[in-house]
Structure 1
Amino acid sequence: MFSAGVSSAAAAGTVPGGPSTNGEMNLSSLVTYEDMIKALKDIEQTSQGKVEVFTLDEYGKSEQGRSFYAAKVGTGPVKVWIQAQIHGDEKLTTRAVLDLLKTFGSSGGKDIKAMLNNLTIYAVPMYNPDGSMMNTRTTMLYDNGEPKRNDSGKPLTVDLNRDWATAGFKAKESLAFYKYWADVKPDYAVDLHHQGFKTVYGTNESTSMSLGVSLAPDGPTLPNVKDYNDVTRQMQVYVYDALKQYGYTHIDRYQVGDGDKRYEIDIKGGVVSAMMLGLNYNNLNPTHHSNPAIFFETKGNTREGGLGQKSNGYLTKQNYLGLKALLEGISSGKIAQVNPDRWGDIPAYPLAGYQTDSGIVPAGY
């Protein structure tokens, strides 16, 4: 699916959430599936009913038979979908979502009350529990309790972030969450990921987070389908400004490629791409509901120097603060007041074009 002119590093990065941690995180301070369940139950109990925790068993279970857990908080008319760890080895994001739910369940501050009056938040802290348990990016397909295998005897695996497609839905995870999304019909979504190490353009500083959208603003897809160019740029700018105020200065835009060839991604197979396109699979979304969506890409592997527990805490807080800011901006309506052209203020390499499902589309197409 990648054009011959794109490096392997660029190809790996074409999927939102790539290149991933490849299972090489410091695992000592990370949340396991069991930890997540306990944390959610504790949050629900201490919130005294503000945070509702439930499984999605009515929609399905994982390939290995695990329940999917979700949480709901807030009573407002605007619905926001938050998902984390669709790739099982991208683990810091789950902690950030749990920390956010804990704040919403325990804080009586005026800002929190305002958000919960204006928003209803639907949070999925661990989209890929099987992959998390195996510490793999993908998940493994099962049949009657045994892994499915190809003709060479190797287990069949699926990247869940490429499985919301007309010819997709190979994994039980994908169909379960798609059905739930189609029922919720959120107004906004944010997807949390990890990426490999890179530097902010014009500096030698390691990027701590990249802000992205899987259907590039001004790219070849959105203007002809669902014009979310302005709102997705406004969402990213709002988060960027907020994180800078908190002192997080190593933020940039998500691009793929290397050297002087950098590309915005414009792919239709990703989960948040399908949300923006209003995918109607098996007539489960007959109204073609759609919503704007962005993603966060956090630095997070140990191949190039490692991440200790202190770094994990810093990066987790960065996600937490970014999420909280985004929700505040949506709740208050301030995001709509952002000049979308300020998206150009977020550091990025000169644009060579767009990486699409069928190859490169040059800038200025």
Structure 2
Amino acid sequence: MASLGALALLPIGLQAAAAYPGDSSQAETPTQAIRSYDDMIRELRKIEHTSRGRVTVTTLAEVGTAETHSEQGRDLYVAQVGQGDRHVWIQGRIHGDEPYGVEATLAVLKELGSSGQQTAELLRDEFTLHIIPMYNPDGSEMNTRTTTLWDTEADAPRTDDDGRELTVDLNRDWTLEGFLARESRAWYEYWTMVRPSYALDIHHQGRKRDPETGEPITFSLGISLAPGGPTLPDIRDGEFDVLTRQMASQVWLDTRHRGHISTDRYDVGGGQVIDIRGGVVSAMMLGLDWQGLNSAGHANAAIFFETSGNTRDGDLGLRGRGRFIQQNILGVESWLAGLATGDTVDLDPQTWDEIPHAPVEYYFTDWGGVIPIDDV
């Protein structure tokens, strides 16, 4: 499709910011200020009702996956909007203490379900979007990064031999040795049914500052398999190594001049960038086949967003909440619009190198320890 040129972003970021006014100097983020699982369901149903048939909200029990609920028995919700041939996967709150993915995905869903603007119509025509506001409902309700494995017969946490509760990071559970949690198995099967072309995962990170200026970083753009690193260049003849750089670069170009957003590339400090093969979006790019559910080897390119600050840091309170939500909304809009118009694939992938970042010295991996870049 021909590019639409300077495509106007959807005007929903300001709506989200206005919905959560005020600043706070509280030392902790009050959980009552964060949308709950029940709140999410009510909002999904409201969006579905007002969309006049554009949005469909379903549970995985209705879809018919083998696993249908979270470890603690909660329904797993997904919303679809659009009728395009290309399927897109957007997920939020895979870590339960990282809340703003819920807010951003719901805001985007609401706009796409109701707007008659040119951009919204384009996205609905080009894509079928599968939006998962709360991938980890149990962890979200507990306000924990992980989820707790559950004994359904006893209706109590499973424990190890020392009586400690068994927990799992759902973003490390898509591996041949993993799939310990029911929701991991359920969402993976749904992914094999959807076979998306692209995926986006919305996260939070800890407090972060520019290493040179000391100014706070609000928004980091990440690729879970390091571009040019030990894994990504060998996947699909380097196709995803290029496309993921282009996708992140498109978002950077569209957000870098927004006064409330300070964007860089994601890293874990000490000159280390991640090459995490067990992450959910990494497994998507690797085309993970678990128990024959992906025997055809489907794979898709994926990136992730990180908002600086999370509830375990106690640094957010309500301070700047609208702005944090807004930057994710703008990022999602930019990502989708660039892919829909073709602007993204026309970008020079070396634009990735222009995004502010610390010098890369090591790859931080979940399969080979910390590897100096000169060893790859």
The normalised TM-score by structure 2 is 0.88
Residues 1:253 and 2:274 aligned together: no
Q: Say yes or no: does 1:69 pair with 2:81.
A: no
Specify which of 273, 295, 302 is matched with residue 264 of structure 1: 273
- The Cα of 1:361 is off from its aligned counterpart by 1.7
1:359 is displaced (CA, Å) by: 1.0
Q: Percent identity?
A: 48
Structure 1 residue 249 displacement after superposition? 4.3
2:134 matched residue in structure 1: 126
Aligned-partner SS, 2:336? helix
User: Deviation of residue 303 (structure 1)?
Assistant: 6.8
Deviation for aligned residue 1:184: 0.1
Match of 1:112 among 120, 128, 147: 120
Q: Which of 312, 322, 325 is the matching residue for 1:313?
A: 322
2:186 equivalent among 176, 191, 200: 176
Partners of 2:360 and 2:50 lie apart in 1 by 48
Which ranges in structure 1 are unaligned for 5 or more consecutive residues? Answer: 1-22
Q: Find the counterpart in structure 2 of residue 330 from structure 1.
A: 339
Contact 1:78 1:187 (8 Å CA) reproduced: yes
Report the 3-state secondary structure (helix = DSSP H, G, I; strand = E; otherwise coil) of the residue aligned with 1:256.
Answer: coil
Alignment partner, residue 200 of structure 2:
190
1:302 and 1:62 mapped to 2: Cα distance? Answer: 22
1:203 shift after superposition: 1.5
User: What does residue 246 of structure 2 align with?
Assistant: 234
1:292 maps to 2:301: yes
**2: CA distance, partners of 1:51 / 1:344:** 38
Query: CA RMSD, aligned part only?
Result: 1.5
Q: State the distance in 2 between where 1:142 and 1:355 align.
A: 31
Q: Is the 8 A contact 1:201 1:347 kept in 2?
A: no
CA distance in 1, matches of 2:39, 2:314: 27
Relative distance call for 1:256 and 1:329 in structure 2 (3 A) is: same
Partner of 1:12: none
Q: Distance in 2 between matches of 1:303 and 1:148?
A: 24
1:36 aligns with 2:44: no
Q: Does 1:55 align with 2:52?
A: no
Structure 2: how far apart are the matches of 1:200 and 1:339?
25
CA contact (8 A) 2:272 2:360 kept: yes
Matched ranges for 1:5-44 at <5 A: 25-44=29-48
Secondary structure of 1:351's partner? coil
Contact conserved, 1:26 with 1:307, CA < 8 A, in 2?
Answer: no
- In the alignment, what sits opposite 1:94? 102
Counterpart Cα distance in 2 of 1:245 and 1:28 = 33
| Distance in 2, Cα, partners of 1:232 & 1:24 | 35
Secondary structure, counterpart of 1:117 in structure 2: helix
Q: Is this contact kept in 2: 1:207–1:250, CA < 8 A? A: yes
Cα separation, partners in 2 of 1:271 and 1:94, compared to 1, 3 Å? same
Question: For residue 72 of structure 1, what is the amino acid of its counterpart?
Answer: Q
Shift of the alpha carbon at 1:289?
0.3
In 1: Cα distance, 2:370 partner to 2:184 partner: 27
Contact 1:200–1:250 under 8 Å retained in 2: no
CA deviation vs aligned residue, 1:67-96 (integer Å, no higher than 9, x gap): 000000011111110000001111111011
Distance 1:139 1:270, change over 3 A: same
Q: Deviations over 1:99-134 (max 9, x none)?
A: 000111111101110111111110000000000111
CA contact (8 A) 2:249 2:355 kept: yes
Is the contact made by 2:219 and 2:261 (CA closer than 8 Å) also made in structure 1? no
Deviates more, 1:102-111 or 1:293-302: 293-302
Q: In structure 2, what is the Cα distance between the partners aligned to 1:245 and 1:115? A: 24
Q: Distance in 2 between matches of 1:191 and 1:325?
A: 14
Give the Cα–Cα distance (whole angstroms) in 2 for the partners of residues 303 and 147 of structure 1.
22
| Offset from partner CA, 1:150-207 (integer Å, 9 cap, x none) | 0110110010000000000000010000000000000000000011001124221111
Q: Name the structure 1 match of 2:284.
A: 275
SS at match of 2:271: strand
**How far has the Cα of 1:330 moved from its partner?**
0.8
Give the total of aligned pairs. Answer: 340
CA change 1:303–1:168 in 2 (3 A) is closer
1:103 pairs with one of 102, 107, 111: 111
Kindly indicate whether the alpha-carbon contact (under 8 Å) linking 2:157 and 2:165 is maintained by their aligned counterparts in 1: yes
Structure 2 residue 169 is matched with structure 1 residue 165:
no
* One-letter amino acid matched to 1:194: H
Question: AA paired with 2:130?
Answer: Y
**1:24 Cα deviation after fit:** 5.2
Aligned equivalents of 2:79, 2:311: Cα separation in 1: 31
Distance 2:75 2:34 in 1: 20
* TM-superposed deviation, 1:309: 2.5
Secondary structure in 1 matching 2:320: helix
Distance 1:129 1:347 in 2: 34
- In the TM superposition, what whole-angstrom CA distance separates every residue of 1:238-285 from its partner, at most 9, and x where no partner exists? 00111124334411100112xxx3111011111011000000000000
Is residue 80 from structure 1 mapped to residue 84 from structure 2 by the alignment? no
